[in-house]
Structure 1
Amino acid sequence: AEPLLRAQAEVLVGVARWASGELEEAHRAFADWIEHTRQSGNLAFALASVFYLAEIRIAQGQLREAARLYRQFLQLVPADDEAIRQAAPHLHLGLALVAHEQGDEPTAALHLQASKERGERASLSDWPFRWSLAQARIQESAGAWEEALDLLDAARRLYVRNPIPDVRPVAAIKARISIRQGGITAALAWAAEHGISTADDLSYEREFAHMTLARLLIARYRQECADSHLHDALGLLGRLLAAAEAGGRVSSVIEILLLQALAHEAHGDLQYALVPLVRALALAEPEGYVRLFVDEGPPLAKLLRRMQEEGGKVNVYLHTLLAAFGRQPDLHPPSFSPPPSEEPLSEREREVLRLIAEGLSNQEIAARLYLSPHTIKVHTRNIYGKLGVTSRTQALARGRALGILHLP
């Protein structure tokens, strides 16, 4: 009992280490806890903790090791013990997310289905939250942003507070989607509400939020061409990179390098952009990262093609990524949009469009207007049809061009 109690105390210290970004120390504490619980015959506790162990490895950029952990412990789940089998939905969900990041959508779909079938039968307090987050991640990759926002709203309602650090808060994920939709105003409101600024002291718990702020600054530069935004973004990214490298947080390092590349690309400095991109590729290639690159969209695809033309050293990986871009649906088709209708927007449709501009999801708009989410979807389809657009981003641009919306 004494070694188990000692491991229990150590895992509490491990949680604190995790929150401060000391991932290797946190991993060691969780690994010791899992080993002691297995040795004491408490397989249920061990299996319940594997998800956290794998999440730490993912933050360290070790996708393959995380997948190995999930598979290893999934094999230990007995078929005849209902209590222990309740760990299986989490393990399948973890495997699905790793497969999705690696661009293996058939494997991701298989594990998602297995997680869904088992999760709906089990009485798990935290699985519905994780399931909604995972679904939102996949919908975001597909460009189904409204569906992703609705799933994130569901996740926020389902969140059960626990000691594990929330390093990817739902509000910051929603702000990222708003940025991708062109909803700068909504993202600025998020930063103001949560007190996120370039002058902040850095911490691991806010690293994701500060990377989101860097995305916002780059997006503002693209929109306003104010050099101060780019200067602030690059300054923040430099500080974030130093902190993430010092903490061995390779997943963050790769994303920060990509953002540095995109910042230089936005300024037209393609040669400068390739320097951090080469580093990002070197870190990402051994683990098979795909979505982290592809989800950045056409600007990053342009940089990868430029690198390929110049004879990149990781040609096989470059081909893999560019092929994945080729399979990506065109979220902003440049040459076609439906012809706009001559019918003007109704007052209710104008109200819905203004709330879309604030970055609200369908669920949030429905709550604000005391209507059903289905009714909001009908209004949104009508707005698209009348404006001759196919996405929120296009609707906002057309609305501003027509004077229905004021520029932020």
Structure 2
Amino acid sequence: MTTAIDISWIGALSGLALAIILILFRLAPTYSLILGAIAGAFIGGANFADAVSILVTGTQSVQGTIIRIIAAGVFAGVMMESGSAETIAKVIVDKLGGTKAMLSLALATMIITAVGVFIPVAVLIVAPIALSVGNKMGYSKVAMLVALSGGGKAGNIISPNPNTIAAAGGFKLDVNQVMIGGLVPAIFGVVVTVILASLIKYKGTKVTDAEAAELEKANTTNLPVLSKALVTPVIAIVLLMISPIGSMIGIDALAKLKIDSLFILPFAGVIGSLALGKRKQILDYCTSGLNRMTPTILIIIGAGAIGGLITASDLPEQVVALVESSGISGTFLAPIAGILMAAATASTSTGVILATGSFSDAILNTGVAPLAAAVMTHAGATVIDHLPHGTYFHVTRNAMNMSMKDRMKVVGFESIVGLTMTIVAVVMFGFILK
């Protein structure tokens, strides 16, 4: 993204601050980001023509990410609407049994998020199973939501979800590189999740018999068998991993076969639909998936606008100079950007989009490698992305039928999981693999 317009860093910072304030006041994030970009351009010294040029240039820069997310809608629609994700979750919990409830719930949410289901939807899918298990075992809702949310966060940094696509796009990487890069931090995240949930499993409000009875009545859905439910995610994962595996084992033909997620995810969704015997539902799945992706796509357009403002300004250079003069390693700029942007928007995907769109150049200018920057920014966005001014907080609270007081108790544990993954990512990519 290039432009000859010179904008003061004060204008860029003011525009970014205004966008965040408007988001906190519940204005739609897309409008908040675009208004912030416009206001920042004027404050920074642009005229009307310059402001329009900044917006257009910025939004054009995110078109690659947008088209990949639209393509991913086919995959997401199949996984969510066909019942495949719910089948996978039920099998995991049933196989591990109630004695390993926290592990089974965390793994179930992790895996179905990792195979491309949005984290709020993943929690919604597994929550009824968690409530049923909790009623039988006497576990608290707080502990079970820690297991679900922590597992979902771990799965979210290794999934082909919009946040991962945005992290990859922001640093000009393939999505499979970012997915693989997040694997070790994700493993640490799920381990910490299980430990935390197990320590507090009897503390807090329990699931009542009446709630359990309602779940039994509602549980009448006909779900696909596991072998058919796995077709869609297995095809996607195998195809996404062909090039990385070829590189690791030294087979050049495979290493050069770089099939983009733009092709892989829709293909896996269509073949999965056929395997499920849902040929006639493919169009419905596509429509549903696109509808679920639309809010994220609109946010990306807004993030592109604010990114255009920041790139046209000298803010990135000022940030790098500040980091260097403070003596803090430039390595920390990536996770800090992810943490702050996700906290401001209370959303992993929006936080990653805003952090990469606004600060990717500044992060790379500190000498951090693109893959390291992407993984650290992505992990950082999971630290405090679950605050009450975002939808995730309320969706998960309603899914578990929790009071506001109990839901607030979960926030600290969620942050510990996100911080664990971020620390592991920084140690790995900022120091060990530097």
Task: Pick 1 or 2: higher relative contact order, CA cutoff 8 A, min separation 6.
Answer: 2
TM bucket (normalised to shorter chain) is under 0.3
